[in-house]
Amino acid sequence: MENMTFNKSVLSWINEKIDLVKPEKVVWIDGSEEQIEALRAEACSTGEMIKLNQEILPDCYLHRTAVNDVARVEGRTFICAPTKEEAGPTNNWMDPAEAYEMLYAIAKDSYKGRTMYVIPYSMGPVGSKFSKIGIELTDSIYVVLNMVIMTRVGTDVLKALGDSEDWVRGLHCKCDIDEEKRYICQFPQDNTIISVNSGYGGNVLLGKKCFALRIASYQGKNEGWQAEHMLILGLQKPNGEIKYICAAFPSACGKTNLAMLIPPEGYYKNGYRVWCVGDDISWIRKGEDGRLYAINPENGFFGVAPGTNEKSNPNALASTRKGTIFTNVAHNLDNNTVWWEGLDKNPPANAIEWKGNPWNGQESEEKGAHPNSRFTAPAKNCPCISSEFENPNGVPVSAIVFGGRRAKLAPLVYQSRSWNHGVFVGSIMASETTAAAAGAVGVVRRDPMAMLPFCGYNMADYWQHWINIGEGLDPEKAPKIFNVNWFRKDDEGNFMWPGFGDNLRVLDWIIDRCEGKVDADETAIGYVPKAEDINLEGIEDEVSDAQLKELLSVDTALWKDEVAGIEEFYAKFDRLPATLKGELETLKKNINK
Ligand code: GTP
Ligand code: SPV
Ligand code: MN
């Protein structure tokens, strides 16, 4: 097949990799429907994908990964910066020369008898000043078909790249899916990613976490912008005005759900709407008017399937009804469709579970779908996709929201006192771990800005970058910074807040605060709503006034323990910004008052 570009840096890099992995042939992905359709057919012929019921789920497919390869592997993810200090205390580090040597030894000859697919892709609308280009080499059709949904792929991208050397190199080799030899390595200084021995989502769709967060966060530091693990939503008020919010929650903590929220009935009737710009990643930079603007660099959703249903997230469900790839969900053999826990109350009796074994929907200890099973759905399918989704200039950001899963401690919502206090609030985030990464689930850990697994350089320098960004903003124009917690539990272990659509009640307060329309109580940790300012109309039965007060309360004893935890965490950082040390001292003083 002919090369699709004359770009010398592209061709010489690909030729080097061809010499290394020795593919039987090389196929350039041009983005055409014919080519994609042929690849789908090939993947079905080998069993890599299963074509689903085309009447119920047109252009939808099912894929099962290896049983040992179902989530990101943080322990095997490395930042290969020149020094350990540059990667910082929260990242795994490997010396770049050693890493290349080890990875090349694993990758050597690994494409023998296989095809190399060359995927030119753009993160962000092709040609936008926000956008960046990558090329991923892969031996997996599944990866190609996912990248085609998740990014902008094809000839236009190479045209936009021209002769430039500014593009991110990505090499993915399935090898033998050997978990002992699985490595996800980022080389931020070389704009390079190498991923071996995995076939799962975040490990292999290199445009997503590897590029759009780990590499891009480093690019952003050097170029004066930010790459964040944040959804972007537009909140439309009854007067038709739309305010944009970026929100960072750790993996499987509610970004997709919040980004596609359907307002509660009363709000909906009054004209409130939520428009989804993005559900996972934001690239943010200052616009000509001095405000911050955000784009979603992705083109699709790689969303958590379990729990997605007609009630919890109808927009996400609707997004998966065509052109979607399902990974590690249950296969309903009666009608050749898919099922997952929490889709409905009728598990299929005649099915294949995610590992590929027969399943009757009854066995309580066996799940039909893996807890981290996913759908890969085109953004354009989403009924509430924002009209600004393709806007090359992004959307103006009014509020930044941090949040996580905290059964205790963090109130439903609070506002920081300033940009720098907001950076502090982001830096002390902690959340219970989820199935999105291999390892224990439900353990509270520090996850600053939801970026713990995704920051491509020293986290202390990343915090300093946040502070620097704030210094470049007129405080009047800077987004206001908040923290939310949808996951507070009572002593019986029940969620105290209904969440999902009802989270709009909190967003409404947030926007009112941004517009200076509502007062708040100043507490030790920041501004907390007055109970009467959270509208409970329609959920009075679910949330009593006492419960709301409890949700908004700041428990000083618990916060004292928290301060000790923060001090311990901060002690890891030799380069902790003085500003954050100062914010911690203020918090301590406030708590002990
Ligand atoms: P990643 O794609 O891994 O980055 O995850 P995400 O942050 O987009 O999380 P997602 O929206 O997919 O939600 C993950 C899980 O959290 C699902 O099981 C949801 O049902 C649950 N969830 C989301 N929002 C809420 C909420 O407001 N309250 C409660 N209790 N659960 C929620
Ligand atoms: C996450 O884990 O935050 C995800 C899924 O969005 S993955 O692409 O696997 O990283
Ligand atoms: Mn994510």
Domain boundaries, the chain: 8-30+72-223, 228-296+389-592, 300-381
The CA-CA-CA angle for residues 196, 201, 205, to 5°, reads 70
Q: How far is the CA of 252 from the centre of ligand 1 (A)?
A: 5
Q: How far is the CA of 521 from the centre of ligand 2 (A)?
A: 36
Query: Which of ligand 1's atoms lies nearest the C-alpha of 259?
Result: 11
How many Cα atoms sit within 13 Å of 453 on the Cβ side?
A: 23
Q: Verify whether ligand 2 is closer than 6 Å to residue 280 (CB atom).
A: yes
* Structure confidence at residue 343 (pLDDT): 98
Query: Which of ligand 1's atoms lies nearest the C-alpha of 372?
Result: 3
* Structure confidence at residue 1 (pLDDT): 63
Please give the full DSSP string across 365-403, using - where no structure is assigned.
Answer: SS-SS-TT-EEEEEGGG-TTB-TTTT-TT-EEEEEEEEE
Q: Verify whether ligand 2 is closer than 6 Å to residue 300 (CB atom).
A: no
Ligand lying closest to the C-alpha of residue 252:
1
The residue to mutate among 65, 205, 251, 304, having the most atoms of ligand 2 within 8 angstroms of its beta carbon, is 251
Pick the residue whose CA is nearest to atom 4 on ligand 2.
251
Ligand lying closest to the C-alpha of residue 248:
1
Q: Verify whether ligand 2 is closer than 6 Å to residue 209 (CB atom).
A: yes
In tens digits, what is the pLDDT along the chain, a chain of 593 residues?
Answer: 678 999 999 999 999 999 999 999 999 999 999 999 999 999 999 999 999 999 999 999 999 999 999 999 999 999 999 999 999 999 999 999 999 999 999 999 999 999 999 999 999 999 999 999 999 999 999 999 999 999 999 999 999 999 999 999 999 999 999 999 999 999 999 999 999 999 999 999 999 999 999 999 999 999 999 999 999 999 999 999 999 999 999 999 999 999 999 999 999 999 999 999 999 999 999 999 999 999 999 999 999 999 999 999 999 999 999 999 999 999 999 999 999 999 999 999 999 999 999 999 987 778 999 999 999 999 999 999 999 999 999 999 999 999 999 999 999 999 999 999 999 999 999 999 999 999 999 999 999 999 999 999 999 999 999 999 999 999 999 999 999 999 999 999 999 999 999 999 999 999 999 999 999 999 999 999 999 999 999 999 999 999 999 999 999 999 999 999 999 999 999 999 999 999 999 999 999 98
Q: How far is the CA of 280 from the centre of ligand 2 (A)?
A: 8
Record the tokens describing residue 133, joined without a space. Answer: 């280009």
**Residue 253 designated active-site:** yes
Query: Which of ligand 1's atoms lies nearest the C-alpha of 308?
Result: 20
**Contact between residue 295 and residue 29 where contact means Cβ atoms under 8 Å apart:** no
Distance CA 506, CA 81 (A): 40
What separation, in Å, do the N-terminal and C-terminal C-alpha atoms of the chain show?
72
pTM of structure: 0.98
Cα-based torsion angle of the residue sequence 515, 518, 523, 527 in order, rounded to the nearest 10 degrees: -20
Fold of the domain built from segment(s) 300-381:
Phosphoenolpyruvate Carboxykinase; domain 2 (2.170.8)
Query: Which of ligand 1's atoms lies nearest the C-alpha of 250?
Result: 7
**Contact between residue 413 and residue 482 where contact means Cβ atoms under 8 Å apart:** yes
Element (H, E) at 225: none
Ligand lying closest to the C-alpha of residue 71:
2
Q: Verify whether ligand 2 is closer than 6 Å to residue 313 (CB atom).
A: no
Query: Which of ligand 1's atoms lies nearest the C-alpha of 231?
Result: 8
* Structure confidence at residue 558 (pLDDT): 94
Query: Which of ligand 2's atoms lies nearest the C-alpha of 203?
Result: 9
Q: How far is the CA of 250 from the centre of ligand 3 (A)?
A: 7
Q: Angle of helix 419-427 relative to helix 578-592, nearest 10 degrees? A: 80
Q: Verify whether ligand 2 is closer than 6 Å to residue 207 (CB atom).
A: no
Q: How far is the CA of 74 from the centre of ligand 2 (A)?
A: 11
* Structure confidence at residue 263 (pLDDT): 97
CA of 225: how far to CAs of 127, 370, 426, 589, in Å? 17, 36, 17, 33
Q: How far is the CA of 253 from the centre of ligand 1 (A)?
A: 4
Q: Check residue 457 and report its DSSP letter.
A: S
Q: How far is the CA of 265 from the centre of ligand 2 (A)?
A: 31
List b or e across 70-84, with b for residues whose CB sees 16 or more CB atoms inside 10 angstroms: bbbbbebbbbbbeee
Q: What residues does ligand 1 touch, defined as CB less than 6 Å away?
A: 249, 251-257, 279-280, 303-304, 306-307, 312, 436, 486-487, 495, 499-500, 503
Exactly one of 80, 175, 185, 253 is catalytic; name it. 253
Distance CA 182, CA 281 (A): 25
Q: What's the CATH number for 228-296+389-592?
A: 3.90.228.20
Q: Is domain 8-30+72-223 in CATH 3.40.449.10, yes or no?
A: yes
